[in-house]
Structure 1
Amino acid sequence: MDPVIIVGAGPVGLTLALALARQEVPTVVLDEGPGKDEPRPARTVVLREDTAALLERLTGVPFGEHGVRWTGWRSLRRKQVVTEVEFGEDDPAAPLHIAQHVLTQALRAAAAAEEPLVKVAVDSRLDAIEQERSGVSAHTRGTHGTWWRGSYLVGCDGTRSTVRKLQDIRFPGRTAVERHAVATLRAELPWEGRALFHRTPPWRQSGPSAGEVTARPVPDGAWRLDWLLPPGKDLVTPETLVALVRETLAGWSGGATPVYELLDTGVHTVHHRLARRWRVGRVFLAGDAAHLLGAFGTQGLDEGLRDADNLAWKLAVAWHRGPREALLDSYQTERRAAVAARLRAADQTLPILRGGGGLRHIVPGTSRGQDALLADGHLGRGPLGAPGAYADSPLAPRHLEADIAVDTPAGAQVTDVRVTAEDGSFVQLRDRLGRGALLVVLIAPGTGVWERKHWVSAGVMPRLAAAVTALPHPAELLVAESYPGAPAHSVLLVRPDGHLVTALSGVRPADLYAAAEAAVGGEVKEPAEAPSGAR
């Protein structure tokens, strides 16, 4: 079967290629550039717990050693501390801040190691797409101008996506929602390792000063500073940026501007756009080609990585087992809804936080409530920052008799607990994701203190193992001592991208089969010959 064609060799495209390679699906990545990225210290990304874990699984690179996990978060209004959050040592909930070129280099190196499953074609600019029932063809111009044949094609080619334009997909939304002046510099600030969000700083003057500034640590004693600029299109000159740097550092240091080394500067413009369609036949969109968002510290790349994680296992099922249209359609349904919810939350909140008094009643209270909303956006919590859940997914099973509630809602990302794998080793649950198999997790207190051979043939295990073997899609059986909110002997069904399908009370083979069939886009039905005990 032909490979999947991925247009764009940025972080989202390379992540998708690696996720497909992990599931034995070959890809061709069309890179319009020369195959390397220039270092830009002012271009950084903030990764949440799940996306950082995804990248580390795919590359084998401990990104915590190449970026900085915040030790805490502080919100100030003038001179008053409004919000303060502490992160413990190696706390996975601490956002990871890393330079984008460092991330991309690691992904490129991992992709090179996956040859021949991942082929990167440099200097290959897309200019035509043709698709029919059996596949899709893409033409590139440049040094390696030619026709490429693929089973599917995914546009990960950014804001000005050629794929999106060739498929005539509308991209409505708002332009220049916010503008930020950005500077990365090396300096000693009074709060080592902490991120700081400062509203209405007391030193603010007229002219180039901004009413909001954020400081986030990056490696080697450097910081990225972002100033929210006043509305308008005034040119941000080098002199304006230097004035902002000197004024801000002097304000934080209580007087004179401390010694600093300016490493890079830029202007970051926030757009809010959402593509009308994310799938046209065998062609898909992901990342900035499908959506643009970025207010309140939320990062478009973080959402783009979730696109790749969601789409990879569905394409892998279609590539290996034949297309299931419901499964492929669910990519747009799930991901577009999740991004749309975040865009709606940002659009509703912006007027409140930026001075539009007419909607102030939505957040009763006052500035403290506003600061809490902003903190949530930066920290990956609440409506502005939390990862999207797929509660209304078309892949969700319906009317299961044994369905129970646990602390993770159906459709949300599972908690990363320690589990026992089939070979008896102890691993983290997230380490088993992304392999194309469903995960079936039995909650069995006490199993962690005994060798697997003592309990693998006892109790409910033989019956559950038989049920897992009979499922309509490959599945791996894992055992956990506990899971938040799950009673003993409950069974969790988890998708390959880590989202919970359902939690069942006890071993119920018929319900487990129906849930698995629904999760991979099939009809909800029992097998022709149900395993023993199914009824």
Structure 2
Amino acid sequence: MTVDEAARVPVVIVGAGPVGVTAALLLARHGIGSLVLERHQDVYPLPRAVAADDEVRRILQAAGVGEEFAAIARPANGLRLLDARHRVMAEFRRTGHGLHGYPQTSMFDQPALEHVLRDALARLPECELRGGAEVTGVGPGTAGPVRVTYRDDDGEHQLWADAVLGCDGANSLTRQAIGAVWEDLRFEERWTVVDVRTGAEVRCWEGVDQVCDPHRPATFMRVGEDRYRWEFRVRDGQERLRELVAPWLPPSYDGDFEVLRETQYTFRARVADRWRSGRVFLLGDAAHLTPPFIGQGLCSGLRDAFNLTWKLARVLRQGAHDRLLDTYESERKPPARHVIRLAVALGWAMTGGQDGAAPLRRRALAVACRIPGLTGRAGRDLSPPLTAGPLVRRGVRRGLAGTHAPQPWVSADGRRAHLDERVGDSFAVLTATEPGPSLTALARSLGIPVLPVSDLGDDGTLAAWMRAGRADAVLLRPDRVVMDVVPAGGRDFTSAADWAALLHTARSPVPAGRTAPGTPLRSTTR
């Protein structure tokens, strides 16, 4: 084994999938270097994840690949529930632009996304990607440096990291290393996934179809100009693919039909019982497994990365207290569990389950789908507000705290830009009134801008949002969650004492970008 006691990096990321590479890009935006270790040499070439929502589009914007992703994405209409005869039971429409400034649903090809992310990583001197490097050991996960061992063509290697992010999927070695185990949320089914390219006039509403048929549940979506995906629950006996997809094709269609991939997956619903041990963290499928019925598996992993990376950067670069990192699991685990339960509920609605209550569930679904406004609310429930905690104003049951700020177009340096481009990558205060001396002093102590919404040149969205939330000012976190509020007629943030101690400490920060001597951080494959 090659052992170099000086081989130390700020962050080691295990796994170069979309979550791992996005985490590296986000850390780089905060000045933190990282080494990404990936056992495969290149991007897995076949389709997997295909859907992103507007919040995820905003995260990709923050990672610096918003425009590149737009070039490979296709807006979609949302989700429909169909009965066994393909009649529409309900529509969860997600059309137009959402709160975050992007289409509420976008379809894409995961390999294309991964190439976009890796190309961006290769341009950053703070980051290095080592392909063909299989991690063989992580830990112990103490408050100090973490030892990481890996194997490549040159043999065994050992290095030290100030933090380790386990983005290594459902069979995560990192999860095993910290002693985390799965909590089973009681959904497990075997499905066949088929990706197809065809020039046929496929019957499609430019969204996702979920067929709620207990005998043949299915999912269908258009991914690209001539790309489509079908998913069918596996049944005993052989079934011809053409017969399965026939309801979507022209009658007796016998034209081109290229199967890009046909494979079987076991869809599971699970959450790891712990997401952190010291400076070792779990993200994405290493921390939670979501059935794909609401298209939130990859989305949840990218939300993990956005929530954790700014906190980790604050600790490593600015010397904030390690207790700040405790908020990662407490903030992300409940929303992840919520999304999994939504996916499981839709899965049961589609399949009917295998017990005696299945007919009752199907009838209840049919009734629920007729309740005015229910489908609209369900479509907005994929990213619920954060509950009160150290980084969300305590004691707030309603209002803006814990929610995301909208992202309209604003004026920035004489051009139109998204709000986050104007605000930057750190905290920011938005004010609807003239800021008082104490608020200005607080912003100065944090080194963050105070931005009157009247000066941003938007269409009035921000002023209306703050007025509806009865707020004179809001403090935005780097992930654009409202951390605290100055209520209308108030003078100060109401809970600064709660969160200020987490953001400030007398400890010496770790120098950003520290690496082994003579080892530049760059994107490579071996």
TM-score range relative to shorter protein:
0.7 to 0.9
Gaps of 5+ in 1: 202-208, 445-459, 524-535
Taking the aligned partners of 2:497 and 2:217, their CA distance within structure 1 comes to 48
The residue that corresponds to 2:171 in the other structure is: 160
Q: Percent of aligned pairs with the same residue?
A: 26
The residue that corresponds to 2:161 in the other structure is: 150
Aligned partner (choices 107, 114, 122) of residue 104 of structure 1? 114
Which segment is superposed worse, 97-106 or 122-131?
A: 122-131
1:411 aligns with 2:407: no
The residue that corresponds to 1:470 in the other structure is: 444
| One-letter amino acid of the structure 2 residue matched with residue 194 of structure 1 | E
1:428 aligns with 2:434: no
Structure 1 counterpart SS, 2:16: coil
The residue that corresponds to 1:120 in the other structure is: 129
**TM-score by structure 1 length?**
0.78
| One-letter amino acid of the structure 1 residue matched with residue 389 of structure 2 | S
| One-letter amino acid of the structure 2 residue matched with residue 415 of structure 1 | P
Taking the aligned partners of 1:69 and 1:372, their CA distance within structure 2 comes to 27
Superposed displacement of residue 54, structure 1:
1.3
The residue that corresponds to 1:480 in the other structure is: 453
CA contact (8 A) 1:75 1:371 kept: no
Superposed displacement of residue 170, structure 1:
1.4
Gaps of 5+ in 2: 1-7, 455-459, 505-526
Aligned partner (choices 363, 366, 379) of residue 381 of structure 1? 379
Taking the aligned partners of 2:311 and 2:366, their CA distance within structure 1 comes to 44
The residue that corresponds to 2:515 in the other structure is: none
Give CA deviations for 1:96-148 in whole Å, capped at 9, x if unaligned: 11111111111111111112x11112222122234454311211122253111
CA contact (8 A) 1:15 1:55 kept: yes
1:501–1:95 Cα change, 3 Å: same
CA contact (8 A) 1:158 1:289 kept: yes
Superposed displacement of residue 26, structure 1:
0.7
The residue that corresponds to 2:29 in the other structure is: 22
CA contact (8 A) 1:467 1:509 kept: no
Which segment is superposed worse, 98-107 or 218-227?
A: 218-227
- Mapping of residues 73-92 of structure 1, within 5 Å: 73-77=79-83, 78-84=85-91, 92=102
**TM-score by structure 2 length?**
0.80
Give CA deviations for 1:218-247 in whole Å, capped at 9, x if unaligned: 2231111112334xxx58xxx63xx23x22
1:38–1:331 Cα change, 3 Å: closer
Structure 2 counterpart SS, 1:3: strand
Superposed displacement of residue 252, structure 1:
3.2
CA contact (8 A) 1:420 1:480 kept: no
The residue that corresponds to 1:526 in the other structure is: none
Superposed displacement of residue 33, structure 1:
1.6
Which segment is superposed worse, 180-189 or 19-28?
A: 180-189
The residue that corresponds to 1:515 in the other structure is: 496
Aligned length: 477
Aligned partner (choices 472, 479, 482) of residue 490 of structure 1? 472
Structure 2 counterpart SS, 1:339: helix
1:134–1:71 Cα change, 3 Å: closer
The residue that corresponds to 1:439 in the other structure is: 428
CA contact (8 A) 2:349 2:365 kept: no
Which segment is superposed worse, 155-164 or 339-348?
A: 339-348
Structure 1 counterpart SS, 2:63: helix
Taking the aligned partners of 2:310 and 2:45, their CA distance within structure 1 comes to 32
CA contact (8 A) 2:393 2:401 kept: no
Q: Relative CO higher for 1 or 2, CA cutoff 8 Å, sep ≥ 6?
A: 2
Which segment is superposed worse, 254-263 or 352-361?
A: 352-361
| One-letter amino acid of the structure 1 residue matched with residue 404 of structure 2 | Q
The residue that corresponds to 2:366 in the other structure is: 367
| One-letter amino acid of the structure 2 residue matched with residue 105 of structure 1 | H
1:272–1:88 Cα change, 3 Å: closer
Which segment is superposed worse, 90-99 or 285-294?
A: 90-99
| One-letter amino acid of the structure 2 residue matched with residue 299 of structure 1 | Q
Structure 1 counterpart SS, 2:56: helix
1:177–1:404 Cα change, 3 Å: closer
Taking the aligned partners of 2:113 and 2:365, their CA distance within structure 1 comes to 39
Superposed displacement of residue 19, structure 1:
0.3
Taking the aligned partners of 2:424 and 2:167, their CA distance within structure 1 comes to 19
Q: Aligned-pair RMSD on alpha carbons? A: 3.5
CA contact (8 A) 2:192 2:264 kept: yes
